[in-house]
Amino acid sequence: MEQIAVVGAGTMGNGIAHVLAQNGYKVNLVDLHAEQLQKGMQTIARNLERQVAKGSLTDEAKKSTLQNITALQDLNSGVKLADLVIEAATENVSVKLDIFRQLDEVTGPDAILATNTSSISITKIAAATKRPGAVIGMHFMNPVPVMKLVEIINGYGTLPETTNTIVELTKKLGKIPCIVNDYPGFIANRILMPMINEAIYSLYESVAGVEEIDTVMRLGMAHPMGPLQLADFIGLDVCLSILQVLHNGFGNPKYAPCPLLVNMVAAGKMGIKTGEGFYTYTPGSKELVVSEQFRK
């Protein structure tokens, strides 16, 4: 695999480009929005610098990683020579279907088309192309440079050779592949989101406060972050949309999103990205401050 394109320069896209480039792959990072592209490149440079400061990366390796990435706004020129495209655009079905229709037209016939979707059906995305056998889920975890797992999702028609290529690539990136089948939420979010939803229900029903709920899960279950802090980190809008996929996909009321989550998203309190969720966030500060709303 020589040339890889990553579509979308947001949190996940820039993390994926970072890890690929650090492992020697030539990457085209494509985003239609100049500002997002610039922000993505700045984030990669900042995260590489953090690795240099910690001594886990040399300055030389940082430079060559950055040289391996070409930032592009034009989708066609960004993907046309790629052996693999990893789509990490907005988590929206119609956006993804549009992108895959275009990718199918523009890329070479042997290119593999992967999506980093956290919950949209791979089978549905594959059906927007004429190559369902070469469409696969490659679900990285946030923060991509740190988290070891890649959930690899086989759609209904994904061919074994496609899966094998993606498994081998995952290993070359120093990550651990887990192969799963295409059902709502796959494995990661089918298990994670009900836990987060239950934590929000516990707050909504006043079983305990934000800090107590997160402390129980951090200290009692050795989770690096409590579920409410993790929800803020993922984005409350993303959590809500994944829960809706689970709820609609299984038709089981156990996945119904907590009304408090629905209200917070409607109020624009989406976690770190908006500066407020269960906690409030001040740029440059690592201190966790419970949002006014939830203070006793």
Q: Which residues bind ligand CAA (CB under 6 A)?
A: 47, 50-51, 54, 56, 118, 141-143, 145-147, 188-189, 224-225, 230, 234
- Among the listed residues 28, 118, 121, 202, the single catalytic one is 118
- Report the nearest approach of ligand CAA to the CB of residue 48 (Å): 8
- Among the listed residues 87, 91, 151, 276, the single catalytic one is 151
Q: Is 94 a catalytic residue?
A: no
- Report the nearest approach of ligand CAA to the CB of residue 32 (Å): 23
Residues 6+ apart with CB under 8 A from 30: 5, 6, 7, 8, 9, 72, 73, 74, 75, 78, 79
- Report the nearest approach of ligand CAA to the CB of residue 262 (Å): 18
Q: How far is CA 149 from CA 23, 31, 51, 274, 280, in A?
A: 16, 25, 19, 27, 29
Residue of 25, 22, 28, 74 lying closest to 45 (CA atoms): 22
Q: Which two tokens stand for residue 91?
A: 């988590």
- Among the listed residues 47, 87, 139, 197, the single catalytic one is 139
* Residue closer to ligand CAA (CB basis): 65 or 107: 65
* Residue closer to ligand CAA (CB basis): 47 or 162: 47
Q: Is 105 a catalytic residue?
A: no
- Report the nearest approach of ligand CAA to the CB of residue 264 (Å): 17
Largest CA distance in the chain: 60
Q: Is 118 a catalytic residue?
A: yes
* Residue closer to ligand CAA (CB basis): 16 or 37: 16
Q: What dihedral angle (degrees, nearest 10) is formed by the CA atoms of 275, 92, 7, 155? A: 130
* Residue closer to ligand CAA (CB basis): 75 or 238: 238
- Report the nearest approach of ligand CAA to the CB of residue 258 (Å): 17
* Cβ atoms of residues 233 and 272 within 8 Å: yes
Cβ-based neighbour number of residue 209 at 10 Å:
17
* Cβ atoms of residues 7 and 89 within 8 Å: yes
Q: Which residue is nearest to ligand CAA (CB)?
A: 118
* Residue closer to ligand CAA (CB basis): 4 or 188: 188
Question: For residues 2 and 84, what is the distance between their CA atoms, to the nearest angstrom?
Answer: 9
- Among the listed residues 189, 197, 202, 241, the single catalytic one is 189
Residues 6+ apart with CB under 8 A from 214: 199, 225, 226, 227, 228, 229
Q: Which two tokens stand for residue 256?
A: 């119904």
Catalytic residues: 118, 139, 151, 189
